Amino acid sequence: MPSSVANEGYKFQSSRSSPSGSPATVPDDVEVVDEALTLLQLETQTIPQDVAVPARSRAGWQIKGSSLSLNTHNRIRNIVESLKINPNPQKPMIPLSIGDPTTFGNLKAADETMKAVMKSLESGKFNGYAHTQGHEASRQAVAKYSAHQRPNGVIDPSDIMLCSGCSSALEYCILALADRGQNVLVPRPGFCLYYTLAEGLNIEVRYYDLLPEQQWRADLVQLESLIDENTAALLINNPSNPCGSVFDKAHLQELVNICERHYLPIIADEIYEHFVFPGSRHVAVSSLTREVPVLSCGGLTKRFLVPGWRMGWIIVHDDQQRLGTAKSGLKNMCGRILGSNTIIQGALSDILTKTPQSYFDGVIDVLYSNAQLAYNLLKPVLGLKPVMPNGAMYMMVGVCIERFPAFKDDTHFVQELVNEQSVFCLPGSCFEFPGYVRIVLTVPRNMIEEACVRIAEFCEANYKKDNQALIEESLLDDAHVHY
Ligand SMILES: *Cc1c(COP(=O)(O)O)cnc(C)c1O
């Protein structure tokens, strides 16, 4: 299905008269669509002449959802809806599950960011359609903002596609590279959208493991064993949701080397680019290679704290022109919804250049101190193993489920935590990683603190020590004495 849609888009494009691949303007598109409609009408009009009695084509109403729509699922929603939740009425609910950082009002978009949109709106210049990849000036702004992603520091605006949020950027990349029956490698634990986008089209997702005890680095041997001739791309999410981990340069280089060896393009979900805590540095994977094509997906959503504005982008890094027809395919994909919203496009240059560094530093401060607070409160709790993040907005906490015999898995643990303590985390199962829960760090500090105190209380109440474990622990304690 993706290829047939892409092919149709391609026919539309090639039937345009514009010779040099210069940006097609909207009136052209409208004409082409009109032409296609006229042809369609002519065709349908000829049918009755060939048939003696106009027969009904079906016996009754038989409307069905398409297989694409019926095979599209939001895993988080499915798992959350299956929980039997009955929060403790004595305690106000603390949702450490909500990924939207604007929910609690403690984290706000910068004034400069909002003023930019006001100016764009008031100019009256951004009410019309843009080029399907986005206005040239807006793409120019993204190119400048993202220059560090290229080894030579230069990005051509024609290699940028503005999309409706980073989600649609990811969708275009996956659909432009993979056909039904092919597979894409995605991280586990990982953001469940990748699966949601692929499954309805019968594109297989294969999970490569991230190792919690190695700061969530990828298991390279296992990753490489997943690659076959049907592997269309490696998806890297750095910094990571849900892990909050940040790959260092050396590890990214190892990933690039694997892709080079197997001729595999990279889809880089870098929506948390720049979103790292003191002591860590984010390296754009595209900056490390001229050999492997990289499609970098980014956007305003997380760094500028405006998820509802739906502004994301794809930056195509392909120095050696290896993407072949996949590049035209990507451009065709942009024609499906005719681009991202133009008011934000009009504001993009100001948003990207005028939002001050002090604003970003302030947001990072809040998240970093929340991370430290939560880590320090949860670390001593028996049965839990928080993993300190280096960036993004989340922390994964290991739950040693054998120590909580009343609960059968992470999902059950989460359910009872809500019911006893009115604290809601997402189970690791939402990210293909049972045995963990994810907490968000964007809630106000006092809520994080209260939530962690309640989690500790909950764990204490449900933790079971067996004799064998006691013996082992005392042995461990003895060992500590020796060091
Ligand atoms: C939030 C998020 C996105 C989606 O961003 P939108 O711009 O809101 O579509 C993509 N990838 C990851 C890992 C995210 O956490």
Domains of the chain in sequence order: 2-51 (no CATH), 88-104+358-482 (3.90.1150.10), 111-354 (3.40.640.10)
302 CA: nearest ligand 1 atom = 1
What was the pLDDT predicted at 142?
98
Residues 6+ apart with CB under 8 A from 158: 133, 139
Q: Between the CA of residue 287 and those of 157, 250, 253, what are the distances in Å?
A: 17, 12, 10
Question: Residue 410: which region, alpha, beta or left (left: phi > 0; alpha: psi -120 to 50)?
Answer: alpha
Q: Whose CA is nearest to atom 2 of ligand 1?
A: 271
What was the pLDDT predicted at 176?
97
pLDDT at 80 over 90: no
Cα gap 24→16, rounded to integer Å: 8
**Gap from CA of 17 to ligand 1 centroid (Å):** 37
Q: Whose CA is nearest to atom 15 of ligand 1?
A: 241
Are 206 and 183 a contacting pair, CB within 8 Å? yes
pLDDT digits (tens, 9 = 90+) for 190-220: 999 999 999 989 999 999 999 999 999 999 9
What was the pLDDT predicted at 480?
39
Which residue ranges have their beta carbon within 6 Å of ligand 1? 165-167, 191, 237, 241, 269, 271, 299, 301-302, 307, 312
241 CA: nearest ligand 1 atom = 13
**Gap from CA of 84 to ligand 1 centroid (Å):** 28
Mean pLDDT value across residues 415-439 = 96
Are 197 and 171 a contacting pair, CB within 8 Å? yes
Residue with the bigger pLDDT between 473 and 20: it is 473
**Gap from CA of 150 to ligand 1 centroid (Å):** 22
What was the pLDDT predicted at 123?
98
Cα gap 244→216, rounded to integer Å: 9
**Gap from CA of 302 to ligand 1 centroid (Å):** 8
State the average pLDDT for the chain. 89
165 CA: nearest ligand 1 atom = 7
What was the pLDDT predicted at 10?
35
**Gap from CA of 190 to ligand 1 centroid (Å):** 12
pLDDT digits (tens, 9 = 90+) for 103-120: 999 999 999 999 999 999
Cα gap 174→198, rounded to integer Å: 7
Q: Between the CA of residue 204 and those of 7, 65, 349, 446, what are the distances in Å?
A: 22, 21, 38, 42
What was the pLDDT predicted at 53?
81
Q: 384-387 and 183-188: which strand pairing?
A: unpaired
Cα gap 83→412, rounded to integer Å: 8
**Gap from CA of 85 to ligand 1 centroid (Å):** 27
Share of the chain above pLDDT 90, in %: 79
What was the pLDDT predicted at 483?
28
What was the pLDDT predicted at 11?
38
pLDDT at 24 over 60: no
Cα gap 289→51, rounded to integer Å: 61
Low-confidence winner among 9-18, 123-132, 266-275, 325-334 (lowest mean pLDDT) = 9-18
Mean pLDDT value across residues 306-320 = 97
Mean pLDDT value across residues 245-274 = 98
Residue to mutate, 161, 174, 193, 306, ligand 1, most ligand atoms under 8 Å from C-beta? 193
pLDDT band at 154 (very low <50, low <70, confident <90, very high): very high
**Gap from CA of 192 to ligand 1 centroid (Å):** 10
Mean pLDDT value across residues 227-255 = 98
